[in-house]
Structure 1
Amino acid sequence: MADMLKLAAEKRTEFGKGAARRARMAHQIPAVIYGHGAAPLHVLLPGHETMMALKHSNALMTVEWDGDKQMVIVKDVQRHPVKRTIAHVDLLIVRKGEKVTVDVPVHVVGEPFPGTVAVTEHTTLSILAEATHIPESLEVSIEGMGDGEKITAGDVALPAGSELMTDPETTVVGISVPRGPASDEEEEAAAEAEEVAAEADAEAESDSE
């Protein structure tokens, strides 16, 4: 379950690139709070505290301003394309007991059978979960798995009350034996096999005529 964090916000009264630049210079991050039919509320969040909160996936927090407060989760984070600093945050209003669809990171643990490697094909899974009980990650064990085995989304254990939204047949992690580059002999054999197949096809077409 995500920790309940608290952030003290200020209502945003200035807009535009200049205002956003001044806010960031003052160690504040522009954000918008929306959802449940409420008019979007533009606020400024404390820079350091917000960055720490965003280290948690699907961060659940309470934002307080002018005597009001809202429980929210982070829906989107815009970052500077070069500096990767946080430029803007979208916060979705949630209620206790309400379920929301979120993407949760997959955490792979364990070691596969010696001589094999694990290939993670999907790093997140989409689930429907109660807003106050969103898991920070979903653990997947590959301990002792062998070549050709895989774990699909439907195999992953979910917290009680959660529902998988990703296609259950989606491969999350696959186990395989590393294949090195083909030798000259293998490439020559493959070429000969292709040539034989092509000749057989040509003969079949000739017979049909």
Structure 2
Amino acid sequence: MKDIVAAPIFALLISILAYEIGIFINKKTKIAFFNPLMIAIALVIGVLLLLDIPLEDYKSGGDFISLFLTPATVILAVPLYRNINSLKKDYIAILGGVAAGCVTAVFSIWGLAKVFGLPKDLLASLIPKSITTPLGIELSNQIGGIPSVTVAAIIITGIVGAVFAQWILRVCGITDKTAKGIAIGTSAHALGTTKAVELGETEGAMSGLAIGLAGLVTVIAATILSGIGMF
């Protein structure tokens, strides 16, 4: 039994199965709070604790899934290409919205970190919370953060965005499809984009665009701020 649970294929299978269960529950309940990824994380943690599987054994198989992070992000360019006219028409508003969202994300973390007296390495770990995981990990390494903390922050941010995005947009009275997509992609990266895709093709395309732009703007801003000693 120990040899079975230590095998990479076991970790891969329980990860996929947990996510499929999450999708099933989400579709059956139609409750936004029951996000498939959040359910999958809880189930995997439960299995690891129940079977006493070391994290290192799980990572041996879980790392196979990580290989698909970058291709999964790149594939978001497909709906973007289909809606290229929307980008050409509203490029000033799109770039302005993404830039505003990134600056707000970075400085809100910086301000809260100062208020609560967080150490510099933890502050640096939280700065990339709103960008996609591959970029976030690399940025965290460059500015002196802790990659594992960064990954956790990115996942939590994405789940919160996916769960509450539609409600927040409704409360704020945002009805424009492009604005919805840009807002979700800038604040909640790829996980939020899964919700944007559910809202519509234009929302999904704009959210996919925002992921790349937000990553670029955040990397530039964070590198400059780190260089002048802000964190």
| Alignment TM class, shorter chain as reference | under 0.3
Instruction: Output the TM-score relative to the length of structure 1.
Output: 0.23
Q: Which structure carries more strand by proportion?
A: 1
Instruction: Output the TM-score relative to the length of structure 2.
Output: 0.21
Higher relative CO (Cα under 8 Å, sequence separation at least 6) belongs to: 2
Q: Which is greater in Rg?
A: 1
Q: Which structure carries more helix by proportion?
A: 2
